[in-house]
């Protein structure tokens, strides 16, 4: 049995303080085979929750203690709405619609109860940065690179940026760029010297 009381919430705040992310999750599921997500999420003011969405489920958010804003965005990362949550003012929670881009802004250390369908990591949830990278890559695949020398610098910068976003920390060689862009090696070397 789990009792949700002041002692539990205080212990979550202590754990959040020692966490690099300045937040800590407390799983409330009955087993790892449980098909949903039910948890307490203790968050401090300095936490950063990337803008993200859940394509397969809405998300129920109930604020137990503290103050925060649930912030919504469009596909370009432009804020569209903000819901202020503060139990002392009678604003207890909200339901984040399926596929809505959202994050939280913690105004005072808080603990929320979160529930949604689907196991974390298996529910197609994604961050806005992941979505934009995928969208940009699909757009690139559709239009392709222009190989004129005037556009070569932009294409090389784009390719390097995509490699970095994918997590690659390797040095990107002119030969690799030449092969990826199907451009003569000497043209790539000339442009990369200027970067």
- Scanning the chain, the segments in alpha helix (DSSP H) are 6-18, 128-143, 149-165, 174-181, 185-194
Q: What pTM, to 2 d.p., does this model score?
A: 0.70
Q: Are 37 and 115 in contact (CB under 8 A)?
A: yes
Q: Are 16 and 110 in contact (CB under 8 A)?
A: no
pLDDT (tens digit per residue) in 82-128: 999 999 999 999 999 999 999 999 999 999 999 999 876 678 889 89
Q: Are 55 and 125 in contact (CB under 8 A)?
A: yes
pLDDT (tens digit per residue) in 129-163: 888 887 776 665 555 555 555 577 777 777 777 66
Distance CA 47, CA 27 (A): 19
pLDDT above 70 covers a percentage of the chain that reads: 86
The CA-atom distances, in angstroms, between 57 and each of 53, 54, 73, 155 are 9, 6, 17, 37
The pLDDT of residue 194 is 76
Q: Please give the structure tokens belonging to residue 106.
A: 């913690």
Q: Which residue has the higher pLDDT, 120 or 44?
A: 44
**Average pLDDT over the chain, rounded to an integer:** 86
The answer as to CATH 2.60.120.10 being correct for domain 6-125 is yes
């Amino acid at each position: 049995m789990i009792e949700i009381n002041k002692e539990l919430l205080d212990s979550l705040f202590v754990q959040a303080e020692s966490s690099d992310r300045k937040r800590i999750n407390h799983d409330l599921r009955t087993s790892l085979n449980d098909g949903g997500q039910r948890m307490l999420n203790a968050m401090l003011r300095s936490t950063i929750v990337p803008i993200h969405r859940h394509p397969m489920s809405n998300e129920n958010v109930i604020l137990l203690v503290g103050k925060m804003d649930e912030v919504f965005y469009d596909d370009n990362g432009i804020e569209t709405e903000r819901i202020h949550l503060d139990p002392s003012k009678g604003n207890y929670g909200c339901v984040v619609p399926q596929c809505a881009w959202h994050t939280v802004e913690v105004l005072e250390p808080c603990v929320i109860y979160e529930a949604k369908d689907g196991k974390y990591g298996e529910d197609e949830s994604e961050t806005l940065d992941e979505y934009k990278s995928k969208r940009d890559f699909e757009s690139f695949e559709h239009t392709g690179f222009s190989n004129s020398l005037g556009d070569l610098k932009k294409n090389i910068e784009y390719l390097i940026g995509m490699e970095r976003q994918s997590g690659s920390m390797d040095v990107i060689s002119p030969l690799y760029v030449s092969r990826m862009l199907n451009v003569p090696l000497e043209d790539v070397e000339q442009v990369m010297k200027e970067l």
